[in-house]
Amino acid sequence: QVQLVESGGGLVQPGGSLRLSCVASGISFSIATTRWYRQAPGKEREWVARIKNADGGTLYADSVKGRFIISRDNAKNTVYLQMNSLKPEDTAVYYCNMWTSRDYWGQGTQVTVSS
């Protein structure tokens, strides 16, 4: 059974940082493609960043480029999203998604950026 468990969300002031983690089990982690998405209240789910677990190749949405860094640790079956210079508009529930032969989703972790 595949499980994706996100953690690391919380309340942070504008300009602050958070690191999200997504721990995977029951999946061929090293060949998966991992994406982070986010969904703010009243808005559609938005793609944030992607990493190919095999070679570490990354892509970012324009809204987070230069502020967020996606990385992975294949030995720990974990993908990270380092979020720096956070803005109030980054407030959302952040979801981890992994794809091998189909999509798998985590339960989400809340990130709130507010003073």
Three-state DSSP state, 26: coil
Mean pLDDT per 10-residue section of the chain, whose length is 115 residues: 96 98 94 96 96 95 98 96 98 96 95 97
**Predicted pLDDT of residue 101:** 87
**Predicted pLDDT of residue 40:** 96
φ, ψ dihedrals at 41, nearest 5°:
-55, 130
How many CB atoms are located within 10 Å of the residue 94 CB? 23
Do the Cβ atoms of 70 and 57 come closer than 8 Å?
Answer: no
CA 66 to chain centre: 15
